[in-house]
Amino acid sequence: MITVAIPMGSQPDILTLVTRARSELASTLADKLQFVVFDSGSNVDQADTWTFHQARDEADAVTQAVGLVAQGKADILLKGIVQTHTLLKELLRPDYQLRLQKVLSHVAIIHLPQLNRPLLLSDAGMNIDPDEDRLAAIVENAVGVAHQIGLPKPKVALLSAAENFNPKMPSSVLAQAVAKQFETRSDAVIAGPISLDLALSPASVAHKHYEGVIQGDADVLIVPTIDVGNVLYKALMLFTNARSGGTIVGAKVPIVLTSRSDSVDSKLTALAFAIAQLKGGAS
């Protein structure tokens, strides 16, 4: 049984998401998929699509949902209409012991028609301007997720504006320093600095005669700042046919972030991504 806890989730769009998930995702799982919603409002579900628990207010809904996770009775936390910082503050209470890694980070999965593989992107939604140690922790989290979804030796590209080291470019300095930390890693290939075109385009690699260990076949993109990640992510969503969804990782369970502006398809992709992290298969 895979159980998804949703604080402040009694919303029509989340009901649509849960209904589709039960139809489109559950059929591919060996385990059953169930949803538990906590909300201070009324229950919008009239068909027993989920189990509903009444909450006094938003804080109580979050406490109940995170408590279910802490008790080992829920496997995924899906954010309803609640502030992300409110949810994470409760999740990181020391008595719950739910923090797994020293840094929590955002990892998105992106399905691009031009690629024959899923692409992971981190961190486009949580860490603003990471230093070397924090960026290394973000890489660790992303590699862990790549392993969970079935990539035994992912190729990780530390992005900068160019592939040549430039001491005047902070992202170049940062990428080289972090790549050096991982140069003896055997379960991942981690390289940088590298430009986006060389990370994803074999044609650009051939044109530029680039001889790095990543030859347009990166599985994971690591951005130097949230600004770069956010712009890249939104550009792909606005101007391509990409399908994507993101989770917060580094806790004992994946956390699915949703907003009212997200399409149901995007929310479904994020939920499938979280499930894949539990099941060890591609989403």
Percentage with pLDDT > 70 across the chain: 98
Q: CATH homologous superfamily of domain 105-239?
A: Isopropylmalate Dehydrogenase (3.40.718.10)
Long-range CB contact pairs, 12-15, < 8 A, 24+: 12/44, 13/260, 13/264, 13/267, 14/78, 14/80, 14/258, 14/267, 15/44, 15/45, 15/49, 15/50
pLDDT at 188: 98
Q: Is the pLDDT assigned to residue 283 strictly greater than 50?
A: no
CA 147 to chain centre: 13
Which residues, 6 or more positions from 80, have their beta carbon under 8 angstroms from its beta carbon? Answer: 6, 7, 8, 9, 10, 11, 14, 37, 39, 61, 258
Confidence band of 28 (pLDDT split at 50, 70, 90) = confident
Contact 109, 269 (CB under 8 A): yes
pLDDT recorded at residue 262: 79
Predicted confidence (pLDDT) per residue in 64-112, tens digit: 999 999 999 999 999 999 998 999 999 999 999 999 999 999 999 999 9
Mean pLDDT of the 160-167 span: 96
Whether the bond between 39 and the residue before it is cis, its omega within 30 degrees of 0, is: no
Residue ranges per structural domain of the chain: 2-100+251-279, 105-239
- Binning the chain into helix, strand and coil, the percentages to the nearest 5 are 40, 20, 40
Secondary structure class of 20 (helix, strand, coil)? helix
Would you state the pLDDT for residue 65? 98
Is 192 within 8 Å of 178 (Cβ atoms)?
yes
The band of 30, judged by pLDDT with boundaries at 50, 70 and 90, is low
The pLDDT of 39-60, averaged and rounded, is: 97
- The pLDDT score that the predictor gives to residue 281 is 45
Tens digit of each residue's pLDDT (9 = 90 or more) over 201-229 = 999 999 999 999 999 999 999 999 999 99
For the ranges 187-191, 242-246, 267-271, 279-283, which has the lowest average pLDDT?
279-283
Report the DSSP beta bridge partners of residue 245: 109
What b-and-e string marks burial along 249-266, b requiring 16 or more CB atoms within 10 Å of the CB? bbbbbbbbbbeeebeeeb
Give the closest residue to 101 by CA, choosing from 127, 131, 138, 66.
138
Q: Is the pLDDT of residue 11 over 90?
A: yes
pLDDT at 27: 74
Q: How far apart are CA 49 and CA 65, in angstroms?
A: 17
DSSP string, 142-188: HHHHHHHTT-SS-EEEEE-S-SS--TT-HHHHHHHHHHHHTTT-SS-
**Average pLDDT for 48-54:** 97
Per-residue confidence (pLDDT) for residue 213, from 0 to 100: 97
Q: How far is CA 219 from CA 90, 93, 150, 188, 238, in A?
A: 32, 33, 11, 10, 21
Contact between 136 and 244 (Cβ < 8 Å): no
- Residue 90's alpha-carbon distances to 46, 49, 55, 165, 211, in angstroms, are 30, 26, 15, 41, 47
pLDDT at residue number 280: 62
pTM of the model: 0.93
CATH architecture of 2-100+251-279: 3-Layer(aba) Sandwich (3.40)
Q: Which tokens go with 84?
A: 């992300």
Rounded to whole angstroms, the Cα distance separating 86 from 40 reads: 15
Nearest to 32 by CA among 4, 60, 65: 4
pLDDT, the chain, mean = 94
